[in-house]
Each structure stands twice: as C-alpha cells, then as structure tokens.
Amino acid sequence: MVIKITFTDRSSDMKITIICDVLGRENNGTTIAAMNLIRSLKSKGHDVTVVCPDEDKKGLEGYVVMPKRSFGIFDNYVEKNGVTIAKADEDALRRAIEGADVVHLLVPFMMSWASVKIARELGIPLTASFHCQAENLSAHLFLMNAGHFNNDVYRFFYKKVYRYCAAVHYPTRFIKETFEEAVGAKTNAYVISNGVNKRFVRRPTEKPENFRDRFVILFTGRYSKEKSHRVLIDAAAESKYADRIQLIFAGDGPLKEELGEYAAKKLKNQPLFRFFSRGEMLDVLNYADLYVHPAEIEIEAISCLEAITCGLVPVIADSPRSATRFFALGEDNLFRHGDPTSLAGKIDFWIEHPEEKEACRGRYLGYAKQFDQDACMDGMEKMLRDAAEGRVHGSEEENGILQRSAE
C-alpha cells in the first residue's frame, strides 16, 4: 500500500507530537536529552504534545500520560532498573497524533511502533532520535558481547521504526555508522550533539570539608554493568595515591548496593554513591579534580561533555563501542577499556602533573564551546521542520548536518 504524505502550510510554528516510551526523572542521558528538546521547542513557540508513561506528568499542559506496561513476573526487575515503559492506548495515541505536522520518536519501543502505524495512516511524517544502543538491552540478558545478537537488535529497530522515518537524529557519527552498518541501509541522517546546557560553567567552588585533603575523581553514570564502575574502583585501589583518592559516583540504578559492597572491600576512602540535583551536580563538577569515564557502551555521554564544559580533565575508556573516546584530546586522556592498571597509571599521571592538568583544562574549555545546547537545539528544530515540509534528502551534506566531534 502506498501512503500519501501531506504537509501543513505553516510559516513559523509547528505542531509536534513527541513519543516517549520511557521518560522518568532527569537521571540519565536519554531523559535529559528528551526534556532539553521539549523545553527548547516550547520556548521557540511550537505546539508540543508529549506522550509518555509518567504519572507525575498527569494534568500538566501538553502531556498525554499512557498506562504503565506490565511485564508480569519481571515487573520487580524492571522497577529495580528505574524504568517505566508505556503501554499504548491506541485511541489516546491517535488523538495525540492527529493534526500534527511531524511526529518525533525518542526510543524504538512499543509505543513508537504503534505511533508509526498511526502516523503513516494519517499521512504525517515521522522523525526519530537514536538514544538506545543494542547493548543497553542485551546487557540485561547477559548478551552484551554477543555481536550477532546486538546486530539483530539493530535490525529489529530498523524494521519497526527507523525505516519509516523521514529523518533520523544521531548524537554522534559513531552511532550513525554503527547502526547503518548493522542494518545494511542508509538513513536520512542528522548528526547533532545533544549539547550542554548553559548552566554548566566553570566557577570557583570549595570542596566539602571532609574532602579538602583528597584528590576527588568523579564519574557520572547509571549504576549498571555497561558503565564499568568496578574498573574505576579497582584502578583507585591500584593507584600509588590510593589513600588520597576520593571517588564520587553520581547517578542511580540497580547496582548501587552491589557496587557499594564491592568498594567497601577495596578502598580505604569509601566512594560517595548518590543522585545529585542539577544544581548540586554543578557544584561537584567544579570542585572535583578529575573526571573518569570507564563506560564501554556510549552513544555520546552528556555527562562527559558537562564535565569538560566545567573545566574537568577527562580520562576516557578507549572502548570501540563508545563514542566518548573521540572526546580525548591526547593519549593521557585515554586508557585501555576494562583495564584498571592502565587507568591507575593515567590517574597517577594527572595527580603528579598538576601544571599539565591545568594546561589540558584550558584546551578542554575551548574544545567544549562547540557543544552549545542552543545551537544543537536549532539543529533539531531544523530537522523537524525539514521533515514537516518535505525537505529532507538522502545525504548528510544536503541535510545541513550539524556535525560534532564525537566521530
């Protein structure tokens, strides 16, 4: 069946429906990126309807709250992972989509599948962001390193969602190339960083009293297997300066208790595990001495961008499945992924070379300017308008791609 797509003649504002199978509080990159986009589009005067499963959004203007999907005996596991997944009410979903100029999908899950069907029936163009690596799912099945399985996941995503999209947003060229190679097809790609909010700036901030004599190392990331927290714990234990090191693990997630017990056996100074508000996080970013990103699976890593924007020097895992490695400006900003000894050596280098660290800080402050969130959100608005007005094309050059440095 051939479906004719029609477009609304609109000179300025657009009516946009955003489908969020998962949203939740802003404690992960996907939710932060989603809320930044929603706020930006609303501030530009667009009529934005957000469909999500979040009970706390009920009654808020512009939000349509779907029921929570039950997974039967696995509900406790899903809840432990801090995830609420929507169950599509197709009548409510159709009402939210009807009359939209464009429908934007955040993750390729079940509510997005239903939205694809409805939008195509109504002749409304679809766009989608890419916020979910295959390994984010396969890690829960103990198949994170099963390459064939992960490629099958990507092909499934393509079959259900991405092949129907007039445009696809990728935060990095790395994930675009990974996905297109896995599915054996090209997409109408817009490579646009998720960007960093202007509130993240370098400012003088004193360390808490109990950290004054310690070298504070920060990692921000969900407490889950693919983030590799244990590598950093082991590296801190191996460091020549183990007695001075204070680890801070900012985040939330199912492995919090397990990681705390593991660290208690390895380290003299017990790490701080906690979720920080955005304001609190800005303080931590400005009093920490070093940022370490040991995760092996990353599409971009907003947390690393926020760190360098605040002047923190990063040490990043060189994992071939992570775009974050492309943020390294030199060899001393990289370590062998999964190797605590390699990481310990880099930590010791930066402790022993404060002048080099200060010079590197200056380079990163300059480098970070390219990730200005306003410019990135302008790129997202352009993608949505191009799709709504039928102006997307088949190449990155024609799409006016906003390419950022995470290749």
Instruction: Render pLDDT for 88-107 as a digit per residue (tens, 0 to 9).
Output: 788 999 999 999 999 999 99
49 forms bridges with which residues in the sheet?
Answer: 17
What is the rounded (10 degree) CA torsion for 217, 222, 226, 229?
30
Q: What is the pTM of this model?
A: 0.86
For position 293, what pLDDT does the model report?
A: 98
pLDDT recorded at residue 261: 96
Residue 220 in tokens: 């921000």
Compute mean pLDDT per 10 residues along the chain, 407 residues long, and list them: 40 88 72 90 95 85 80 49 66 94 94 95 96 78 77 93 96 95 95 93 93 96 91 98 97 91 95 92 96 95 95 97 95 97 98 97 94 93 95 53 47
Tokens 């990974």 locate to 178
Count of residues making up the chain: 407
All domains of the chain in start order, with CATH = 15-195+373-388 (3.40.50.2000), 209-369 (3.40.50.2000)
**Contact (CB, 8 A) for 345 and 241:** no
Cβ atoms within 10 Å of 211's Cβ, excluding its own? 17
Residues β-bridged to residue 19: 51, 105
> Distance (Å, rounded) from C-alpha 49 to C-alpha 62?
5
**pLDDT of the residue at 77:** 46
* Antiparallel, parallel or unpaired: β 15-19 and 290-293: unpaired
Closest CA to 295 of 329, 267, 273, 327: 327
Q: Pick from 374, 325, 316: which is nearest to 346 by CA?
A: 316
Cβ–Cβ < 8 Å for 29, 304: no
| The predicted structure's pLDDT at residue 334 | 98
Coil, strand or helix at 320: coil
3-class SS letters over 137-187: HHHHHCCCCCHHHHHHHHHHHHHHCHHHCCEEEECCHHHHHHHHHHHCCCC
pLDDT score recorded for residue 74: 44
